[in-house]
Amino acid sequence: MTAPMDALEADRALKTRHRAMWALGDYPAVAAEVIPAVGRVLVEACGVGPGQRVLDVAAGSGNAAIPAALAGGEVVASDLTPELLEAGQRVGAQHGAQLQWRQADAEALPFATGEFDVVMSCLGVMFAPHHQTSADELVRVTRPGGVIGLLNWTPEGFIGQMFAVMKPYAAPPPAGAQPPPLWGNEDYVSALLGDRVTDVTAQRKTVRVDRFPTAEAFRDFFKSRYGPTIATYRNIAEHPERVDALDHELAELARRHDRGAGAMDWEYLLFTAHKARS
């Protein structure tokens, strides 16, 4: 019985670490100020409408859950990090959106099999460490014929490249944890879901980001607001030369993607499917 208990303790520690990372900085500001449009894109792609039961997995502060509620869906926004749910409740109230907010692990969703008409995740489930487990849960809680909709950064796009830049400076990932940007690969997601889904549609799109006038402004914003970036800098805080090197690499990444006047196009994969009826 020792080995299973050790694995359980390790998983608990990993989830505690994830909660703490996403509570760092101000992810609600990232969602609201940098990428406000992507949640609406996913809601429209899923065809959310009045009366549909909708689950937003790893919802954060509700970038997709709130638009889904405003579209008439009966929405549950779930996330591992309570600080993000609290921020989402405030934002939802400001918009007059009515929805439920519930703390939940994407790898062990506390919902019944087939409970939802639409199960979606906008830049959220990709950060759960065990991809197949998360995919299995997405399918499980969707009713037969229901919609699964995912919007995730691609490995080749700006954010995927940002994670590649940060990797040498970050703490080693826990054993078994898989890279988030893999969820931005159509073949990878299709393999995770397998023959349990039909009518797959996958499109690579971009969101225009024009929040930052300079490459340094982007770097400094993410350095102070975005949990994974903050955690990476904390890992090298005692090595000023490495901090300087990461400062330089992040600014150069933004400079390479500058389309003029600081505007950048960040690529994501929009993936929708229906759960097979049998």
Q: For residue 200, what is the domain's CATH number?
A: 3.40.50.150
Cα first-last separation, the chain: 37
Cα four-point dihedral sign 74, 149, 38, 87: positive
Q: Say if 245 falls within a structural domain.
A: no
pTM of the full structure = 0.95
C-alpha angle 274/198/79, rounded to 5°?
40
In the block, tokens 């607001």 appear at 225
Q: What is the pLDDT of residue 163?
A: 98
Total structural domains within the chain: 1
Residue with tokens 């101000």: 26
Query: What's the confidence (pLDDT) of residue 1?
Result: 46
CB of 154 within 8 A of CB of 268?
yes
Tokens 């893999």 -> residue: 182
Q: Is 33 within a domain?
A: yes
- 8 A C-beta contact, residue 273 and residue 199: yes
φ, ψ (nearest 5 deg) of residue 157: -80, -175
Per-residue pLDDT at 4: 63
Residue 91 maps to a domain: yes
Q: Does 132 fall in a domain?
A: yes
Closest CA to 155 of 121, 208, 216, 204: 204
49 part of a folded domain:
yes
Instruction: Give residue 183's domain range.
Output: 2-207+268-275
Q: Is residue 216 part of a domain?
A: no
119: nearest Cα among 276, 275, 270: 275
Query: Residue 236 domain-assigned?
Result: no
* Confidence at residue 5, expressed as pLDDT on a 0 to 100 scale: 53
Tens of pLDDT along the chain (278 residues) come to: 445 657 788 888 889 999 999 999 999 999 999 999 999 999 999 999 999 999 999 999 999 999 999 999 999 999 999 999 999 999 999 999 999 999 999 999 999 999 999 999 999 999 999 999 999 999 999 999 999 999 999 999 999 999 999 999 999 988 888 999 999 999 999 999 999 999 999 999 999 999 999 999 999 999 999 999 999 999 999 999 999 999 999 999 999 999 999 999 999 999 999 999 97
Residue 85: inside a domain: yes
